[in-house]
Chains A and B, each alone.
Chain A
């Protein structure tokens, strides 16, 4: 069958819901939280209209949502959920359970700032705080990437038996409508065949247990295997991203998407919807004579160290834009990127800009100001400050 995309104008949340449906998820367990809610509402609507055959478990909390997905995934089903901020934090314990039990649950997290003060707007600290739970993390720049990301996440997760999170930003994507090219069901089915579980609780031939006590004699090896699965995921992500490109025209073979970086003096690096603005700014700045590019980290877990090195060795500076913060230290992506380069030969000047926390607007003009600052420090050959709270009302 020839690929003819179905174009629909949808919100990021509806893009996620359509992707879950097209992925033929079998069990959805979820709990409402703004701005995630419309994902689950849309899925419920699909079920009510007979458009999707899904067992929907309307649980009483996010903790239970993840627990139910874990039960469902352990019993062989393709399981999906979605949440945001406080909900994700409540799930934290169970995120470890999913990865430890090697269950390829896929979840969409709508990046939202943590309270207090209450905020429903964009901020990456919720998902980045789950960095060490053993989940794969894909950050979507736009609604199209939300849709594509969910489909790819299932394929990658089920290949390496590690759960995966697809992350979109609150309101900027979740509630903003845009054209999304969807894939006809038959072609999704070819790309993403039914799940073949690692183990099946419904097989009674030879009884077994999962998740038992791991004594010091064995626990260590379990962790090593999960670490290896993340290494393997890097390979699988690139293959799946390439296959996606070949089938549907959008190539995701790079874990860091680079934009006009070939001859760039310095680049802006960041994740998620922020990077749409940055790419646009790069075009503007290029017109104005700046030799700049953008590097969008698509997959934060596993961390694309090798691709980062390839990028870093050819530029004089990297402006790392973090819509998140690790208190007592610095922006999380900045911290990771610096760490990843330490033992390599690549030593560009790296500066951290904390931007857009709690949904603070971030515009092309902001990128221009950062470019001016970056240019100055590169010329001088030293940083003014390492971490710059860029929007602070001074």
Chain B
């Protein structure tokens, strides 16, 4: 459908769609939205690689491809390595990568494929300095295999292999700070983003496109199926994650930190507001919630300090 010029002018996101309707994500899937925004930012001149994860299914079974871009499906733990291979091949063939007119080489992997099994390849990718972008969409568990924990699963969250029972809940570890591990590689550009703030996300995608070298974006992408949340609450949840400072938005650029919260002035909302919309936290006691709140507070203070000192 042609979008009228006057409407186009008012759009804050690119009007073009390169993500086809009829994909097979669940209703309210944050990952599917994320893919749509990436394609809006980069369009067709993109080579994606996607490892085993929900997005394998979202992108379509053979012979379908819901992305209007080239896609190489790869093995679970190889996103970083395949990105490196594709980039090397393009360079060997004299094809321009990154920049306004170059090819965008994009890895799109879940938190499991990034924080756990793919961490080694991710580290190799970052450290070698390939001109490509790695996006970790974070739905905080292995959704594709039926909602098992990943190291990005937060304290207290129910998953099928860390269930909450009558006596105990099994997820006692806090969410792994993958972005901190990434930043430790001193790459030129790393950022967090959320599907609730698409303009911010697209701005970050554009920045990744312009910045030579490896870039990394950790995208917060709610999963109603795995989070036991209503399908129409995904955006609200993604927003609350930011507003509670549970998942703060920030950028790391050549050694500098910058917080991009909608309002850095306001006090973050209590974490409970984020938790109460989801079934996965429902058996948590007040004390459990306090443990999580303390973690959020501590991490948020840390980030603010970083932004203050290295801003």
Contact = CB atoms under 8 A, between A and B. Distances in A.
Interface of A: 26-27, 29, 53-55, 57-61, 63-65, 67-77, 79, 93-94, 97, 101, 201-204, 207-215, 218
Interface in B43-102: 44-45, 47, 49, 56-57, 59-65, 67-75, 77-78, 80-86, 88-93, 95
B92 A58 contact: no
Interface centre among A72, A73, A208, A218 (most CB of B within 10 A): A72
Contacts of A204: 44-45, 69-70
A215 B62 contact: yes
B121 interface: yes
B121 A60 contact: yes
B305 interface: no
B84 A94 contact: no
Contact of A72 (B61, B68, B86): B86
Contacts of A76: 89, 93
Contacts of B128: 57-59
Contacts of B86: 71-72, 74-75, 201
Contacts of B89: 26-27, 55, 71-77, 79
Interface centre among A63, A101, A215 (most CB of B within 10 A): A63
A219 B228 CA distance: 33
A68 B61 contact: no
Given A207-B70, A212-B65, A63 B81 contact: yes
Given A26-B92, A97-B74, A211-B73, A61 B85 contact: no
Nearest to A54: B92
Contacts of B85: 27, 29, 57, 67-75, 79
Interface centre among B68, B84, B93, B128 (most CB of A within 10 A): B84
Nearest to A93: B75
Contact of B93 (A54, A77, A93, A94): A77
Contact of B65 (A58, A72, A208): A208
A260 B77 CA distance: 50
Nearest to B127: A60
B311 interface: no
Contacts of A64: 78, 80-81, 84, 120-121, 124
Given A75-B47, A75-B90, A59 B59 contact: no
Nearest to B77: A63
Interface in B120-137: 120-121, 123-124, 127-128
16 contacts: A26-B93, A27-B88, A27-B92, A67-B78, A68-B82, A68-B84, A70-B85, A72-B86, A72-B88, A77-B88, A207-B71, A209-B59, A209-B67, A212-B71, A213-B62, A214-B61
Given A68-B82, A209-B71, A213-B73, 15 more contacts: A26-B92, A64-B84, A65-B81, A68-B81, A71-B72, A79-B89, A201-B72, A203-B70, A208-B70, A209-B70, A212-B56, A212-B65, A213-B56, A214-B61, A218-B63
Nearest to A101: B72
B65 A57 contact: no
B240 interface: no
Contacts of B88: 27, 29, 55, 57, 68, 71-72, 77
A74 B77 contact: no
Contacts of A71: 49, 72, 74, 81-86, 88-89
A386 B74 CA distance: 44
A63 B119 CA distance: 13
Contacts of B75: 67, 93-94, 97
A373 B271 CA distance: 80
A77 B92 contact: yes
A63 to B, nearest CB: 7
B72 A214 contact: no
Given A64-B121, A67-B85, A55 B72 contact: no
B275 interface: no
Nearest to A213: B61
A213 B44 CA distance: 22
B23 to A, nearest CB: 12
B109 interface: no
A208 B63 CA distance: 9
B98 to A, nearest CB: 14
B73 A210 contact: yes
Contact of A213 (B57, B70, B78): B57
A185 B235 CA distance: 60
B202 interface: no
Contact of B64 (A57, A94, A210, A212): A212
Interface centre among B70, B78, B89, B120 (most CB of A within 10 A): B89
Contacts of A79: 85, 89
A59 B126 CA distance: 11
B44 A207 contact: yes
Interface string B24-46: 00000000000000000000110
Given A55-B89, A75-B86, A76-B89, A207 B65 contact: yes
A74 B72 contact: yes
